[in-house]
Structure 1
Amino acid sequence: MTHDRHALAPLFAVRAAGVPFQVLERLGTPAVSAAARRLNAFGATLDEAAEAALATVAIELASDRKLRSKVSQKLSRRSVIVAELANAHPWLAAYAQAHAAREAALEDLEAMIDREYATALDALSREAGRVLPDFLLLESAPLLDEVRKWVTCREPANRSIDRQRHRTLAMYLQRVCAKNDSFSRFGPTMWGTIEPGEGIALHPRPGMARRVELETWVVARLVAIIEADPDVRAELAPRLHGHGQLEQDAFVRLDEQREHALSTGERALVAACDGVRPACELGDPTTLASLAERGVIVWRLERYARDTAPFASLLADIDGWRDPVRERWRTRLQPLVALVERFAADERVASRRAVLDELHANLQAIGVADRERTRTLYAATNPINENCTLHSTISLGAAACDRLLADVWPWLELWHDATAFAVSRVYQRVAELVAVAPRRAGKLPYSSLLHTARAAGFDLDRDGGLTDVARGAWDDVQRELSELLGRRPDAPVWQLTAEDCTFLRRRYELPPPGEIGRPSLDLLACATSAADAAAGRFDWLVGESHHGFPLYQHTMYWGCPDKTTLTNIIRAAAGDAPVASRDSGNDLPVHINYEAFLATGVATFVGAARTRASWKVVRPADAEVVVDEGGQDIRLRAPSGEDLGSLIRTAATVMGMHPFFPLVRAPHEPRLRLGAVTVQRRSWYVDSSELGAQRTGMTASFVSALERVRADRGIPRWVYVRPRPGVLNSTKTNRDKDNKPVCIDLESVISLYIFEHRLRKYEAMILTEMLPAPEQIFLDTGDGPVLFELRTNVVPRDATQR
């Protein structure tokens, strides 16, 4: 059990922020925080003076009970004592002076908050006007008009709607400066390789490649509209429904457990429905319509199960139709083609805005309304998707990789055991469903299992059930590890040991994790300069850990310079085991679509959706569910006997362990380290009650209370904040946007407005230290240092030597 089992794959992606972090730093108002600390110091002096006076009041005012009571109350409440009383009793002078000093500091802080907020708004206006316009084109085009109006003619901000707008703009700025989202040029991808050497080095090359597509949701709505044209149906090629089996005189829909009797003529027609010949060649549209209505055949205009160019696929379908229906829809859609091409060719904001306006108008004329914005994370609302890959590359020294693995290998063992533990739980639940699912000729078709799962309220269709069970297992892992580590005294940093990370295998009999036993790691480097980083003088940080397949998402795969090597890496990450891809990912947005799995032949599609001729496909009604009791696995098998892959060792199971932060310990989570590698950042749980009873908005009392909490608990200036786990009740298919951490500068009044608003909304927040810290960001792609992460794959060491 050493690091010799593991290696980093030789090719990796680099996810970079699109805007230098210094843009956020320009919104800072450290003078406000300094003034709050001065106020707190005066407050402490006032407390000392009050306690000293309270200790002598009984003696000094022994003969005047009424005055003694009045003064005691004022001292206890830290109220002002009038000058006449203080002058008459010199022992109160120190208190009076301390109180006056504190009141003056409070007035200074209140005035400074207003003054510094106005100054920060100037910086926000300047940076938002410079940075955000083309970002907002893709994120929220209507807000672009508001930004331009506000930047050119900003009125005094004294209304809640203004504060909300400022928060929104600041939120967008932190997103493009402090996040590695894959989003146009604001989240570009680079690629890197492991080379001989010690450090990390950027090899700059000018320019970037762009790929623009109409989003999946737009094409889905276009499909629905076109399909409603009665002339279209004759051009569509019907096919046998994937969840059914054709027998001698009947068609059995296994996912519904229903049998449809077929006449001789119907059976012959069904047999001719191959998904290639259009209905106009098959004849008998009445019978075809009856068969489609009964669910025997699929006779619709369909999108492909996985498609990273869905609009191009739709156009290709239309080009295969006969006129006049082909000409009708080609004519209506051709303007959309031209608009997408114009958007891709012209990077100017004004030109792109005009294109988007035309695009919206054309879509609405066809009948495609704008998509309503929701709270769901990663739910695309803009009709256009743009991915960008920088031509620059990064090299990572092999010695730096060895240094990382020598320290971090116990973390990889923890991943191995945690996924195995989750698999064992998922296996138990799905095996219960398998046991009661109806067989046919002694075998269990996958379609029949789907019916049983649906009846039991277990979401196997979209994999939500797998994620939910795995989440319960992950909760237990977090609880047990937190109890194990919680015996230690609190400290800023806890050093983990291999024994800590392998506690699960000592407590449980674990099955092999199989295809999900090795993670994809998001690695960050902390260095004081690019020269130090290149020389290997940097510290490693494991940001997040994922299932082994993120590099196959379209946003990264399309720009990969060596797709053959990447495919070999994905195969190695899955242990060279077969992978079954099912219907659960059919509606993914373009940028996170996994079509590469099927296009490269790594996976076999076992689903009822439309497929391409080049894919490996097994119909779900033909796929047999097989139980491996010894390995605690449930797998799919082709009619030929070929193993198609696991039903439970999947990315959906791993999603139940996301994010992979195993230590959960309120009110403080120390930073976790293995050797010199940080594997979990330090966090603090902050409750609104710690900041006192505050009125809504930014106040001197809020800022001073926050500074007291920071001083007492060692909270740094820059943090990422998020609600406590469980507050948002998110599921695999509906994760609330507020799950994403927000970068907060605790010494920026504008940033504090965001924090105060969220703290009031959720009552408690988790604050996590920002690592790398601002002074440790060294990668300069041209305009200034940007945050970045290496998205790597952990593979068996022998895989890198093949």
Structure 2
Amino acid sequence: MPGGAFGVWPWACLRGAGFASDAVLSLAAPATAALLSALPPEKGDDPALRACFDDELLRIRGYLRGVAQDERFREAVLWQNRGAFKTGVEGLASRPLEATANKKVRQRERLITLYLQRYCTKNDTIGFFGPVGWARLGTGTEALTLDPGEALIEERRVHFETWCIDALAEALCAEPALRRWAPPRLLPYLRLDGGVLHAPGMPPSPLPPAHAALLCACDGVTPAMTIAARLSAGPSRAFGSEEEALAALEAARAMGAITWGWEVALGTWPERELARAFERIGDPALRERAEGALSRLVEARAEVSRAAGDARALDVALGRLDETFHGMTGASPTRAAGRAYAGRTLVYEDCRRSAQVTLGAPLLDRLGPPLSLVLSSASWFAAEIVRGYREALVHLFESVRRPGEDAVELSTLQRAFLESGPELVAKGGHGPLVVQRARRELDRRWAEILDLPAEATRVERTVAALRPRVREAFGEPVPGAWAARYLAPDVMISGADVDAIRRGEVTFILGEIHLSNTLSSLFVDAHPAPEQLLAMVDRERAGKVVVPVFTKDSWPQRTRPCLFPSDAYHYAFSSEPSPAPAERTVRVADFVVVRAGDGLEVRHRAGSPRFELMEFMGVLTTSIAASAFDLAPAMDHSPRITVGDVVIARESWRVAPDEIPFVDIDDPLARWVEARRFQRRLGLPRFTFIRTPAERKPCYVDFDSPVLVELMAKLVRQSVEAGAPGPIRLSEMLPSFDELWLVDREGNTYTSELRCVVYDPAGLAGDGASSPPGVG
């Protein structure tokens, strides 16, 4: 990275909206807005204003019906929520426009508004309405090149949610004849030692030799029938018959010692893993039955794929998939209603954008120096969080260590960690206390560095002026846990078009900085050559890397972390199956924790492998704090802060819900008039994003649009009704609509951002760089 010590990957993920940005501008009422600006505040009920407003609102409501009838919009909503499509989109599209709208019509119009603003102004990554693109970062002399491609989308892929395949496997396993060919697996928090079964919190349980041999054979791969045949054959057989061995397996399952079924790990193609498992069914007729059931589900998904671009066909195909699934499993085709990112339906679609983008030296030379200053503080912050966790875990270790014993069961320490509450694992509110303490110190140091004047709306600083202050405050990057050595900044390029950017008419806006490599599975799967990303991770590996086996109820399939070294260990601690082979999977029951100098070491009972504790838990703790970094001062109003050519913090506001006076006004014009007074009082720009405590994703607001103001009011009311504590946050929209450079072949503009991956080369410099003395 020019201007700093950080390395930067040559690939950056291009995240962008899938709908042209200007579609939301038609939600504005420009004539009424101009008239309202010209009238004195007390003239908010002027008859001419009311007449103009009624005309424009009717036009906007007609436009929303046109959106509801748009083929791409209908297809997008179908993918996200078929229920909302049936009741909201279809309900509005089929209803004639009337001068007045009842409550139900207003709800439907608000739903269309909600989806439209999301598809046009948010850099979400989902389906064809938020496709994944990729940009090359290089040293060429051209600042920016863009080939938009012939069409917006280059590739579309429909994937099963893992829970769908799990449900099919469970249904098939319910048939006794098929179940015999499913593999049993000893749970990772149990261990056998000399014929004695050890379980957390339980006294050791000696087992008969036959039962001990049976549990030892439960590897999660070998079918139960094969195990039963092996242990009931020969003169030294453990069981008198296969049926006796199978009955013993059922008893072990009932007591919670094993899982017994076809299990698929959290992954992109779960049906392929299940198909490989079916190949081990020894009975040809039963194997054909299992494979046939999976094939029917796969064919139903293929029909969904073929429906791309045709909303009506997609609706039919999704319905048939639901029917096929329900007919085979008896289960509902949806789950987790109301939960975001929960994989609610059977399948999802990910798409790759056609655009080919390259950033050259002229852009990176301007971006690098200011960004490197911020990255230095983010690196310090990540290391400070790791340090805080190290100290806290030492205290936790001592609190659970029994007098006279040197070691603590890893499962015991992990349980204490997960039960520690707000100190170490709280994800709600402001995060764990260990993260909050580091954040307060980060805020304090940046406040001293920036020395913001009171009441300012714009603050500009130079790299030369800030560099010594940043170095004094944060020092050089400090190695932390492996996962925390990566940072992933989101960067927006602001320029009228590619030609303007090439002329140097460009600024950058810094979005979030994630405290880990957040190029998750959905990004990697859409890369034209994923092996290149994995090779970079292998080259930059330092020390041992341990990855938790991610649980399906905690990690969305699409956004699971997946960029780990090829020789990483996968840590199994729950009933979740590991995606790695047995030789790369470590089990929680096989490890203890001991003191090692001032820290802690995780040690296999056999003596090797061994890990420094934070290398073992680094991925887990980093995931808790990944989004904790934020440069915006925690003030009622904070200015736009620019360093060199980079806006490191947008202008933003924090307002208590009861200080927003228009949210309970029912009359559309009166609500809009009051909203614009609120806008003027705070000095808000026309284009703003709002974030409420009850909704993690921001929503676009145009104060010239009565329907977007109505949507804002609804979101604030919902937050209050949910009892979500905290202020309403507003921030300026940057880049604005006239500063969007990403275009398609027809010249339509799209919002976008680049998610880069940076790292500290010194912190990743060699195989034992992260291990303390004596750990190997």
The answer to whether TM tops 0.5 is: yes
Note if 1:433 corresponds to 2:396.
yes
**2:299 aligned residue:** 338
**1:755 aligned residue:** 712
Q: Distance in 1 between matches of 2:429 and 2:148?
A: 45
C-alpha contact (below 8 Å) 1:529/1:778 kept by paired residues: yes
One-letter amino acid of the counterpart of residue 530, structure 1: V
Q: Distance in 2 between matches of 1:310 and 1:787?
A: 33
Q: CA RMSD in A?
A: 3.4
Note if 1:669 corresponds to 2:629.
no
What secondary structure is seen at the aligned counterpart in 2 of 1:212? strand
Give a deviation string over 1:503-524, Cα, whole Å, max 9, x none: 7648x99884654144111111
C-alpha contact (below 8 Å) 2:182/2:261 kept by paired residues: yes
**1:775 aligned residue:** 738
Structure 2 residue corresponding to 1:449, chosen from 391, 408, 413:
413
Q: Distance in 2 between matches of 1:323 and 1:458?
A: 54
Instruction: Give how far 1:31 is off.
Output: 2.2
**1:519 aligned residue:** 487
**Runs of 5+ in structure 2 lacking a partner?**
229-244, 721-726, 767-776
**2:81 aligned residue:** 140
Aligned pair count reads 723
- Equivalences for residues 132-171 of structure 1 within 5 A: 132-146=73-87, 147-156=89-98, 157-171=100-114
C-alpha contact (below 8 Å) 1:605/1:617 kept by paired residues: yes
**1:468 aligned residue:** 432
**1:221 aligned residue:** 167
**1:173 aligned residue:** 116
- Equivalences for residues 241-640 of structure 1 within 5 A: 241-254=187-200, 256-283=201-228, 284-304=245-265, 306-321=266-281, 322-347=283-308, 348-366=310-328, 367-372=330-335, 374-437=337-400, 442-453=406-417, 468-477=432-441, 480=444, 484=448, 488-495=453-460, 497-498=466-467, 501=470, 505=474, 512=480, 515-551=483-519, 553-571=520-538, 576-587=542-553, 588-595=555-562, 597=564, 600-602=566-568, 604-608=570-574, 609-612=576-579, 614=581, 616-625=584-593, 639-640=607-608
What secondary structure is seen at the aligned counterpart in 2 of 1:590? coil
Give a deviation string over 1:708-763, Cα, whole Å, max 9, x none: 3333433111111012xxx44xxxxxxxxx11000111111111110122233346
C-alpha contact (below 8 Å) 1:697/1:753 kept by paired residues: no
Q: Distance in 2 between matches of 1:331 and 1:437?
A: 52
TM-score (normalizing by structure 2): 0.85
Q: Distance in 1 between matches of 2:353 and 2:618?
A: 34
Instruction: Give how far 1:481 is off.
Output: 5.1
Q: Distance in 2 between matches of 1:32 and 1:627?
A: 71
One-letter amino acid of the counterpart of residue 221, structure 2: V
| Alpha-carbon spacing, 1:185–1:563, altered in 2? closer, same or farther (3 Å) | same
Q: Distance in 2 between matches of 1:466 and 1:618?
A: 33
Q: Which has the higher mean CA deviation after the structures are superposed, 181-190 or 440-449? A: 440-449
One-letter amino acid of the counterpart of residue 660, structure 1: F
Instruction: Give how far 1:627 is off.
Output: 5.3
One-letter amino acid of the counterpart of residue 133, structure 2: M
Q: Distance in 2 between matches of 1:186 and 1:274?
A: 42
What secondary structure is seen at the aligned counterpart in 2 of 1:143? helix
One-letter amino acid of the counterpart of residue 315, structure 2: R
C-alpha contact (below 8 Å) 1:464/1:652 kept by paired residues: no
Q: Distance in 1 between matches of 2:391 and 2:420?
A: 15
What secondary structure is seen at the aligned counterpart in 2 of 1:186? coil
Instruction: Give how far 1:42 is off.
Output: 5.5
**2:615 aligned residue:** 646
C-alpha contact (below 8 Å) 2:92/2:108 kept by paired residues: no
Instruction: Give how far 1:475 is off.
Output: 4.8
**1:202 aligned residue:** 146
C-alpha contact (below 8 Å) 1:415/1:517 kept by paired residues: no
**1:53 aligned residue:** none
C-alpha contact (below 8 Å) 1:4/1:797 kept by paired residues: no
Q: Distance in 2 between matches of 1:462 and 1:211?
A: 35
Q: Distance in 2 between matches of 1:800 and 1:510?
A: 11
| Alpha-carbon spacing, 1:678–1:199, altered in 2? closer, same or farther (3 Å) | same
C-alpha contact (below 8 Å) 2:688/2:733 kept by paired residues: yes
One-letter amino acid of the counterpart of residue 364, structure 1: H
C-alpha contact (below 8 Å) 1:453/1:460 kept by paired residues: yes
Note if 1:685 corresponds to 2:642.
no
| Alpha-carbon spacing, 1:503–1:280, altered in 2? closer, same or farther (3 Å) | same
**1:183 aligned residue:** 126
Q: Distance in 1 between matches of 2:49 and 2:657?
A: 21
One-letter amino acid of the counterpart of residue 246, structure 2: P
C-alpha contact (below 8 Å) 1:8/1:794 kept by paired residues: yes
C-alpha contact (below 8 Å) 1:416/1:513 kept by paired residues: no
Instruction: Give how far 1:528 is off.
Output: 1.3
Instruction: Give how far 1:233 is off.
Output: 2.6
One-letter amino acid of the counterpart of residue 715, structure 1: L
Instruction: Give how far 1:279 is off.
Output: 1.4
What secondary structure is seen at the aligned counterpart in 2 of 1:231? helix
Q: Distance in 1 between matches of 2:533 and 2:526?
A: 11
| Alpha-carbon spacing, 1:647–1:603, altered in 2? closer, same or farther (3 Å) | closer
What secondary structure is seen at the aligned counterpart in 2 of 1:3? coil
Give a deviation string over 1:327-372, Cα, whole Å, max 9, x none: 3333333321111122223322222221111011112222120324
One-letter amino acid of the counterpart of residue 356, structure 1: L
One-letter amino acid of the counterpart of residue 425, structure 1: G
Structure 2 residue corresponding to 1:211, chosen from 144, 157, 162:
157
| Alpha-carbon spacing, 1:617–1:405, altered in 2? closer, same or farther (3 Å) | same
**1:51 aligned residue:** none
C-alpha contact (below 8 Å) 1:24/1:177 kept by paired residues: yes
Instruction: Give how far 1:624 is off.
Output: 4.2
C-alpha contact (below 8 Å) 1:106/1:700 kept by paired residues: no
Instruction: Give how far 1:690 is off.
Output: 4.7
Give a deviation string over 1:527-582, Cα, whole Å, max 9, x none: 0122112444311111111133222x221111222333312443567x63432111
| Alpha-carbon spacing, 1:568–1:678, altered in 2? closer, same or farther (3 Å) | farther
Q: Distance in 1 between matches of 2:393 and 2:765?
A: 37
Please say which structure displays the higher CA radius of gyration: 1
Instruction: Give how far 1:285 is off.
Output: 1.3
Q: Distance in 1 between matches of 2:603 and 2:57?
A: 61
| Alpha-carbon spacing, 1:296–1:337, altered in 2? closer, same or farther (3 Å) | same
Instruction: Give how far 1:167 is off.
Output: 1.2
| Alpha-carbon spacing, 1:538–1:465, altered in 2? closer, same or farther (3 Å) | closer
What secondary structure is seen at the aligned counterpart in 2 of 1:640? coil
Note if 1:707 corresponds to 2:707.
no
Percent of counterpart pairs with the same letter? 21
Q: Distance in 2 between matches of 1:245 and 1:641?
A: 17
**1:124 aligned residue:** 64
Q: Which has the higher mean CA deviation after the structures are superposed, 223-232 or 791-800? A: 791-800
More helix by share: 1
